[in-house]
Amino acid sequence: MTCLVTATAVAAGAGARSLLLGAAILCGQTSIGWANDYVDTDRDRLVHRRDKPLATGELTAATVGRAASVALTLTVPLSLAVGAVSGAAHLVAVGSGWMYDLGLKQTWASWVPYALSFGLLPVIIAGALPGHPRPQPLIVGVAACLGVAAHFANTVGDAAEDERTGVRGLPQRLGPRTSVLVAAVVVVVAALLLAVATRGAAASIAAAGVSIGALPFAMLTTGRRHSAFGAVITAAGAMVVAFVVAGGDHLTRR
C-alpha cells in the first residue's frame, strides 16, 4: 500500500512530499494492522493461526498494543506535515480503518471502511499537490473499488475460522465463492473506470485487459487463503503502473 501510494504521488507531481506522505501512510497502515491483530488475539489462538505471532506466543499483546499506539501517534504529525487537506483526509482514512478493527468487521457494513479509506487515497494525494486540487471523481471510484475488492478477497479461505470465531462481515455472510466473484467483478469495474479517467490511454486499456483476464483465475482461488487477495493486489499494482505511464496529471485533470 505504501509503495503504491508513493508511486502514484510521485507520478502526480507531489515531489519530495511523496516521501513524507509515504511515511504517513506506512505508519497509518501498520497501526491498523497491529491493532487488528491485537483485537483478534483470542480468535486467532482459537483457530491456531500459525501466521499470527500473537496467536503463537512469539509476541505479547502488550508489545503489539504499544506498537500500534506509537504508530498511530506518529501518523498524526506526519499526516499534517504533508498539508492540512491531505493530513485531515488521511486521518479520517486511518480512523475508518480503526473503526473496522474495533467492531465494523463483524457487521454487514464491514466493506464501508475499505471503500472510504481507499476512496480517500486520491484526495490525500491531491491534497499534497500545489494548490490542493480536487481529484477526478472517477479516480476516487477506482480507489474505492479496489478497497472493496481487497476486503472481499481477503476473506477467502477464512470462512471456517470466521464462522468459529463469530466474524460476520458482509463477505462472510455471502460466502467465499460469492466473495471471490464480487472481488473479481469490482476489480474489473475499477479497471474500466481507470480507462475512462485516463481517456483510453493504452496502458489503462492494457491494465483493464489484465484485470478482466484474471477473472477466471480469481474464481478458482476459493479456499486458498492468499491467492485471491494476491490477485487483487497484483491488479492494483497493474493499475498504478498504468496510471504512471498514462500520466499522473490524470489524477486531477477532467
246 vs 225, higher pLDDT: 246
- Number of independent structural domains in the chain: 1
Q: Which residue has the cell 482459537?
A: 46
- Kindly report, residue by residue over 116-173, the tens digit of the pLDDT: 999 999 999 999 999 989 999 999 999 999 999 989 988 877 777 777 777 889 998 9
Checking if the pLDDT of 77 tops 60, the result is yes
Checking if the pLDDT of 97 tops 70, the result is yes
Checking if the pLDDT of 224 tops 90, the result is no
Tell me if the pTM is above 0.85: yes
Strand, coil or helix: 225:
coil
Distance (Å, whole) CA 21 – CA 24: 5
Q: What angle do CA 243, 248, 146 make, to 5 degrees?
A: 40
The candidate with the shortest Cα–Cα distance to 32, out of 81, 104, 87, is 104
What lies within 8 Å, CB to CB, of 219 at 6+ separation is 180, 181, 184
Q: Which residue has the cell 503463537?
A: 56
Q: Which residue has the cell 462472510?
A: 172
- Kindly report, residue by residue over 200-209, the tens digit of the pLDDT: 776 667 766 6
CB 171 within 8 A of CB 151: yes
Full residue range of the structural domain in which residue 191 is found: 2-251
Distance (Å, whole) CA 123 – CA 29: 17
CB 102 within 8 A of CB 95: no
Q: Following CA atoms 200, 7, 24, 108 in sequence, which dihedral angle do they give, to the nearest 10 degrees? A: 40
Q: Following CA atoms 141, 146, 151, 152 in sequence, which dihedral angle do they give, to the nearest 10 degrees? A: 100
What cell numbers appear for 223 in the block? 479456499
Q: What angle do CA 124, 122, 129 make, to 5 degrees?
A: 60
Q: Is 132 left (phi over 0), alpha (psi -120 to 50) or beta?
A: left
